Structures are given as C-alpha cells and as structure tokens.
Structure 1
Amino acid sequence: MEQEEEIVEPILTLREQIEGLLFELVDFGQSLLQPWRLYQVAIIACLVVVALAVTWILRPRIEGWLRSREGWPKWRLRLAVHLRKRIPLFVFVILAWLTVAVMREVTWPSRSYLISLTATIAFAWLLVGLAAWFLQNRFLRRLVMWVLWIYVTVYYLGLTTAVGKVMENIAIEMGDFRISSLDVLRALVITGVLFALARFASKTTASKVQKNEDISPSMRVLVVKFLQVILYGAAFFIGLKAIGADLTGLAVLSGAIGVGLGFGLQKVVSNLVSGVIILLDKSIKPGDVISLGETFGWIQSLGARYVSVVTRDGKEYLIPNEDLITGQVVNWSHTNAFVRLDIFFGIAYGDDPHQVRKIAIDAAKSVNRVLSFRPPVCHIVGFGDSSVDYILRFWIDDPTGGLTNIRGNVYLALWDAFQEHGISIPFPQREVRMLDDGDTAGDMAKD
C-alpha cells in the first residue's frame, strides 16, 4: 500500500494543480460578467472589427506598392511581406492604446483595465511576430511564435506560476533522468532563439568573407562552412546547457554514435572529408570549368557533400566530392584559362597546300574569341583517299563561353574563306551503274 501511495500521490498533486488552474480561469471568466467589464469586452470587439475594416481598405494599396518594388533586395521584400501580414494586429494595438488614453482621461483607470490588458498582450504578440522574422525555417518560426504567444498571454494574465507547476509535474522519468514538459518547452524556445542568432551571425560573417578579395574562393567557402559548424554547434550545446542537461553523458553517447556512423555512413563521411581536402588544396573552386566523364560545365558552388556543376544547356549536376578526388578531372581553368582547340578538315588534291594553310590561319584569326598573341597554326596530317587532311589549332582564354560554339564559328570562317578563294572541300563519291535485262542475260550466258 505504501508503494501504491507513492505512485498515486504525484497524480493527485498534478490533478489538484490542474483544478486550481481551472478555478483561476473560471474566476477570470466570471469577472468579465461585471457591467464595466462587459462594456470593455464590447469595446474590444468593436476595435477588432474596426482594425479588420481598416486592414481591408489598406491591404490592396500596400500590396500594389509592394509589387512596384522590384529592385529591392530579397531580404527587404521578405520583411515587407512579413510586416504586411501583421497589419491587423498593428492597427488594433494603435486603436486600443488610443482608446485607453481617452478613457483614462474621462473615467477611472479601472474601467479601462481590460482594454489595457488586451492592448498589452496584443502589443507583445506583435513584437513576437516581428522578432520571428529572423527565423528562416518556417516550422521553427511558427513553433517559436506560438510558444511565445502562449507564454506572454499566460504571463500577463498572472497564470505563470500555476501553469509552470502543472507543466513541471508532466514529466518523463527513467532512473535518475527526468525531463518535464516545461524543460522541453524551455529548450525549444532557447534553442530556437540561439539558432536564429547563429544564422544571423553566420550570414553577416559570410557576406563579409565573400567580399574579401584577399582570400581565395575556395578558402572563402571553407571559412564560411567552418563558421557555420562552430556557430550552430555552439547554439545547440548552449541550449542544452541552459536547461541543465548533463553534457557528459551526451559526449559518451555521441562517441558511440560516431563509431556507428563511421561504419554505416562511410560514403557520406568520405564525401565530407573529400570536400574539406578540395577546399584546402584549392584544386577546384567556384567558377572553374571542368570536365568529368561526359559532363562539361562550370562549378557553381561547393557543398559539404557534393559539387554543383552547371552545363551549357542549363543542367545542374551534383557530383559527389569523392569522385573529384579519386577520378580524373580536367580543370580547364586551374592555373590559367588558356585552352587550345583542334579542328580537322580536308581539301582537294588540286589545291595548293601552302595557300590552304595561310587561308585557314587567317580565317581563324578573324574569329573574335581566338587569341592573336597565341596565333593559330595549321599542319598537314595525312593524305586521305579523296582529300589532303589538315589540322587547325587555335587558343582561347574564356572556356566558360563554351567550346562547341567557338569551333562552329571557326568552321564557318573556314567555309567562307575557302568559298572566296575557290578552294574545294571534297567528299567521297560513288558511281552506280544500272544494267538492263539484255546485258544481264548476256553476262550470265558468258558465265
């Protein structure tokens, strides 16, 4: 029986606290039935209707004004949209405080108490909504907003102690470990705020690092990633420490998890380490033009697990970092952006090869992207069945502009130059002889 009483006692205590909280809410509701409280409730309802009407009038004009702000930065447009959603609450707060100011001049302060309390809570809601703009994650933003809205409401209603005791008794216990719903709520709020601050500091620092021309592009990415890991890791552990969590057990648990992840996520870990190596040795950086297998394009961004490569046709390939470390990669702009291109063509045997070489070189020089300080060269590479075969080599310094298009432009310049000088480009020809029935029969008789 003693053991049963020990189990039942916390349940009774929790029940008593919930009943006490309900009694306080009932008392507050009954206090609203007083004449002057009913008048204040009616005034609050009228203020809500007026705020909605004013919002209905202002919203189309504000939306039209926002649509004309096309040149604004993305963060400013996002802030403007965030403020637009809170126009009703903003209008209600202004009207409520104006009403309280007028009523305190013409009557006793107690007869505007309920309106003042509602205005204070609405103003706190407005501040919470504005502060939530710093949280980019939609789920986290909504969670923090609702938790803080409930907290400020309970705080100004004077129910903080009663609600806190109830939530403290709603807990999970396993041996010496005990975590209550209040601890979970506190952890969510503190961690959310810390993550918001970490993200703000990360974005601010990242923008300054990206603008620093003294740091190489790959080192900028490495510095930004390192700062993000430090800031978000610090926010996570500070949030746990703020609610009194024992980090010693977490360290042991994280070590065991790390060993398991090392075996189960070898590819992921390999890609992460390969990404760090790529950033440190500076072999690949954003803006480089690379070829990997059949993929040719320029690097858009370096991620922790993969590299984003965009091709000329707009396709974006996410190549694992490990493939760039272990595979053969052609970096067209590693040490410099000079690229030599070769094209082949054939000319008839009746044309002078010396003249052909000169015309081909001049035609290549006339193309815009072909470098003049590294002049093109043209050589004979063989005598074919129906043509003399040539190779034309030229240099460019902007591979990001494409390779196929520059080859096409040089071929077109060769065609125009050969047509102008009367040089023919041969092609294989076949002669087909049609035999009639008489000739066929004679041939068969001879056989």
Structure 2
Amino acid sequence: MSDRLFSHMLGGLARDFGQPGIAWQVGVLLGTLTLAWVLARLLRRTLDLRRQTRYQTLRFGAESLNKAFFPLVGGVLVLIAQAITEQFMSTSLLDLALVPLFGIGLIYIVFFVARRVFGSDGETHVWLSLVEKLVSLAVWAGMVLTVLGIQDQVIAWMASVRFRIANTHITLLSLLTGILWVCVTMIVAMWLGSTFEDRLMRSRTLDANLKVVLARVGRALLILAAVLISLSLVGIDITVLGVFGGALGVGLGFGLQKIASNYVSGFIILIDRSLRLGDTINVGGLQGMVTQIRTRYTVVRGLDGNETLIPNEKLITDVVQNQSSYLTRGYAKAAVQVAYTSDVERAMALLVDATHGVDRVLQEPAPTPYLASFGADGINLELGFWIEDAATGTASVRSAVNRNIWRLFVEHGISIPYAQREVRIVGGASDILPQAVTMTGAAANEASPAGNAPPEPAAR
C-alpha cells in the first residue's frame, strides 16, 4: 500500500530529494512564482482601475477573482517552465506544484462565479456558503488523490459500484458525473443570465420595464437550455419530456390557471408599461408606491410602510388609479364661504395671496379664484391652484393654504358666516306657552369679523 501511495508525485519528489537537480527545480519554482506575483499584481491593479472608472464600484465577488490571478498565472508559468526544463532534468517538484496552483485557482474562479450568481445584489445568499464549501471539499479531495496517485483506482471503484433506480442500472460514477454536469450547466446559465441582466440594466436607451422583461426572459431561456444540455450529457433522452409537457399543459389549464394568469399578467404589465417602479397607485382601497414588479406579483409599499403583495391578475382586471404622472403636478381646490356684506373682490384677492410662500404651490399657472355660487348663508368662493410633485401628497399643502386664508380673512375683516336657523312654534302655541317664542340665530352678515365667537341667540 505504501509503495502504491508513493508511486507517483511524492515518490518522484522523494527520489529527486538530495540530488543536484532539486536545487535547480527550487530556483525555477521560486522564480516563476515571483514573476507570477508581479504579473498578478499588475493585472489586479489594471482590472480594479477599469471597474472603478466604468462601474464606479467594485463588483461583488471581485475579491475572489483577484485572489485567483496569482495561482492561475503561477500555474501557467510553472507549466511553461516544466515543459522547458524536463528536457534537461527531472521536474518532480514542478509537477507537484502544478496541482495546488491550478486547484486553488479553480476554487477561487468558482467562488467568483458563485458570488456573481447568488450574490448579484451585493449580499451573501444562503446557497453561496453551501456551494463554496462543496466546491472546496471536492477540489481539495481531487488534489489529494492526484498527489497520492490513486485517482485512477478511486474512479475505477466508483465505476464498479452499481445500483438500480426504477428500471435503470447506473453506477456511482455516472451518478456523480451527471450531478456535476447539471450543477455546472445550471451555474454557468445563471451566471450568463446575471451578466446579461447587468448589461441590460446599465443601458440608457431601453425602458425600465423592457429591461426587466428581457432580463427575465433571457434568464429563463438560459436555464431551460442548461437543463436540456445537462440531461443530454447525462444520457437522458429529452424526447420523453414531450409527455411531461403535455401533462404540464393540462395542469396549467385546470389546477394552475390562477398562477399562469398571474405570470401572463406580470409580463403584460411590464410590456405595456401601464405601471412603473416608483408609481403611486390605489387598487382595492390600498394606496402605496410600487417597489417591485415580479413575474407573479407586484410589491406595493403602503403609506404606513408595510409592503403588500398584489397578484398581477388583480392589477389587470381591477380598476387601478395611477397617481403618478409624467407632469409631476396636480390640481387642487380650496372652498370657502364669505358673508354677503363682505367685499367679494377683496376676498378673492386674499385667496390668491394665501398661496404665496406655500411650499410646492406653483405660481405658473397662477392660482385662480372663482365665485362658485350663492349659498343660503353666504357667497361660496373657490380657489384653484397647481401643486408640484402631487404624487408625494397634497394634504399638507392644502392645509397650509387654508390656514393662510383664515389668517388673512381675520386680519382684513372678511366674515365667514355662521349657519342661520329660525325655530317657530306654529299653531296651539298659546296652549303651551303664555306667549309665543321665536328663536333665531344672529344674522351672521351683521356679525363681527371671522374669528370672534358667535353671539348668543336672541329670544323674544
């Protein structure tokens, strides 16, 4: 057993140990690694500079890619040196150094791809740690087997382990190979989808909704292609998927029609651009801002800060009020009533003055006062004005205008009338009271200016 373990790289290194050629191998290895360190440092600086100037921030996972430069460049240089020096002397040390260099470089490359796939938003995904641990374990196990020279025996043993799944006889080697191909093709497809989505999102000529549609369709097609390719590589006949596709169609037609409707509605919303990210909408009594448009549902953040998931079908079939406009302004009114004895022209001028100095009230178009109607208790006036960024809310602006109206009316003696009510007891009053009593509210048109307390009703 010990002879078998030391029959490969370790055995060759043990034979060369103490020979004059081992010093030359150490010198060549140190020289190539030093040169690799310098080249990797220059390459890392160049790529970091390009990321900063082009993307403004370093991409998530760039650290893993930077760490992969040194072992990969070192492995390439050592391989070149090994091919040159093997004509003059033994290269057992260089052969042994190639295994950890390319192995560690492969680990960091997989880390970079995994971080791009599972951490495109800059945060660590739950699958990322699992993928990194499994890849590290598999690569280190492969390096140990390669150094010991028993990788062929282990592969032969896995090929000899047979078991049965349904009516198919498979080996442990074919099962592990199939799982490996499925994982590789899926990760590559997800990485390509993430890269494609990044390029779309950086485009300034495409609409935001169209970007989302293209990114999701592209990612779905890449994943579908990866599944078909991996099944073909494993040896599964993909023509059997036709039966599964028919059954899936029947299931969608009956049991999954709501889910299918939500998916179709989601693509309709994104394509026809009826809703956009950041729009303030009102649907089914819920008012809030659209924060996400998913394939199956739309996320709306309410005024209280809570997020609600609304099925996309509801946004297609129900009435949706979109309170966001490309004009970014809205029209508002303020209604007030003045006494008949008041100076109407002066009151209308004060209404316009009440909008001066109020934040977000536009002076162009200018606020306009109107004499709306003649009421039972006074003259009804109305003020119309435009508010900037109306989608962010108008209640505070209207409140500020109404407060200015009240202040200006008090300062200039414009009366806001009280309701007048007269109570009369008609017929048989002498049987109830010794004298008929009539109670009337004081005539507000003859009352004191607005802001004073109403006088007590007169009795006679």
Q: Pick from 225, 234, 256: which aligns with 1:243?
A: 234
Name the Cα RMSD after superposition. Answer: 4.8
Structure 1, gaps ≥5 residues long: 1-19, 41-65, 434-447
Aligned residue pairs total 381
Distance in 2 between residues matched to 1:253 and 1:148, nearest whole Å:
36
Indicate the SS of the match to 2:361. coil
Change (3 A) 1:202 1:30: closer
Distance in 1 between residues matched to 2:113 and 2:310, nearest whole Å:
32
Query: Does residue 272 in structure 1 map to residue 263 in structure 2?
Result: yes
Q: Pick from 402, 417, 425: which aligns with 1:411?
A: 402
Change (3 A) 1:392 1:282: same
Q: Pick from 365, 384, 390: which aligns with 1:373?
A: 365
Distance in 2 between residues matched to 1:74 and 1:213, nearest whole Å:
16
> CA offset at residue 353 of structure 1?
3.7
Query: Does residue 120 in structure 1 map to residue 102 in structure 2?
Result: no
Change (3 A) 1:357 1:188: farther
Indicate the SS of the match to 1:76. coil
Match of 1:340 in 2: 331
Match of 1:321 in 2: 312
**Given that residues 128 and 149 in structure 1 are in contact (C-alpha distance below 8 angstroms), is that contact kept between their aligned partners in structure 2?**
no
The share of aligned pairs that are identical, in percent, is: 28
Distance in 1 between residues matched to 2:368 and 2:199, nearest whole Å:
43
**Given that residues 297 and 311 in structure 1 are in contact (C-alpha distance below 8 angstroms), is that contact kept between their aligned partners in structure 2?**
yes
Indicate the SS of the match to 1:364. coil
Indicate the SS of the match to 2:58. helix
Between stretches 189-198 and 276-285, larger displacement belongs to 189-198
**Given that residues 361 and 378 in structure 1 are in contact (C-alpha distance below 8 angstroms), is that contact kept between their aligned partners in structure 2?**
no
Match of 2:214 in 1: 223
Match of 2:354 in 1: 363
**Counterparts of 1:61-210 in structure 2 under 5 Å?**
76=58, 78-79=60-61, 81-82=63-64, 113=92, 116=94, 119-132=97-110, 133-135=112-114, 136-137=117-118, 138=128, 139-155=130-146, 157-174=148-165, 176-210=167-201
Distance in 2 between residues matched to 1:213 and 1:31, nearest whole Å:
61
**Letter matched to residue 303 of structure 1:** R
> CA offset at residue 321 of structure 1?
0.8
Show CA shifts across 1:239-267 (max 9, x none): 22222221112332243244335433333
> CA offset at residue 187 of structure 1?
3.4
> CA offset at residue 80 of structure 1?
5.2
Change (3 A) 1:316 1:172: same
Match of 2:33 in 1: none
> CA offset at residue 354 of structure 1?
3.5
Q: Pick from 297, 306, 312: which aligns with 1:306?
A: 297
Show CA shifts across 1:61-109 (max 9, x none): xxxxx9xx9999697263355469x69x969x98xx99xx9xxx9xx97
Distance in 2 between residues matched to 1:384 and 1:152, nearest whole Å:
96
Indicate the SS of the match to 2:156. helix
Distance in 1 between residues matched to 2:105 and 2:206, nearest whole Å:
40
**Structure 2 length normalisation: TM-score?**
0.65
Q: Pick from 331, 349, 355: which aligns with 2:322?
A: 331
**Letter matched to residue 122 of structure 1:** P
Change (3 A) 1:34 1:212: closer
Between stretches 289-298 and 74-83, larger displacement belongs to 74-83
Show CA shifts across 1:168-188 (max 9, x none): 333442465344433343334
**Given that residues 360 and 387 in structure 2 are in contact (C-alpha distance below 8 angstroms), is that contact kept between their aligned partners in structure 1?**
yes
Distance in 2 between residues matched to 1:376 and 1:213, nearest whole Å:
40
Change (3 A) 1:294 1:344: farther
Query: Does residue 399 in structure 1 map to residue 377 in structure 2?
Result: no
**Given that residues 121 and 152 in structure 1 are in contact (C-alpha distance below 8 angstroms), is that contact kept between their aligned partners in structure 2?**
yes
**Letter matched to residue 134 of structure 1:** V
Change (3 A) 1:388 1:170: farther
> CA offset at residue 127 of structure 1?
1.1
**Structure 1 length normalisation: TM-score?**
0.66
Show CA shifts across 1:36-75 (max 9, x none): 879x9xxxxxxxxxxxxxxxxxxxxxxxxx9xx9999697
Change (3 A) 1:251 1:405: farther
Change (3 A) 1:173 1:75: farther
Change (3 A) 1:344 1:30: same
> CA offset at residue 329 of structure 1?
0.7
> CA offset at residue 338 of structure 1?
4.3
**Given that residues 328 and 389 in structure 2 are in contact (C-alpha distance below 8 angstroms), is that contact kept between their aligned partners in structure 1?**
yes
Indicate the SS of the match to 2:164. strand
Between stretches 277-286 and 28-37, larger displacement belongs to 28-37
Indicate the SS of the match to 1:252. helix
> CA offset at residue 400 of structure 1?
3.8
**Letter matched to residue 331 of structure 1:** N
> CA offset at residue 29 of structure 1?
11
Match of 1:282 in 2: 273
Distance in 2 between residues matched to 1:225 and 1:333, nearest whole Å:
26
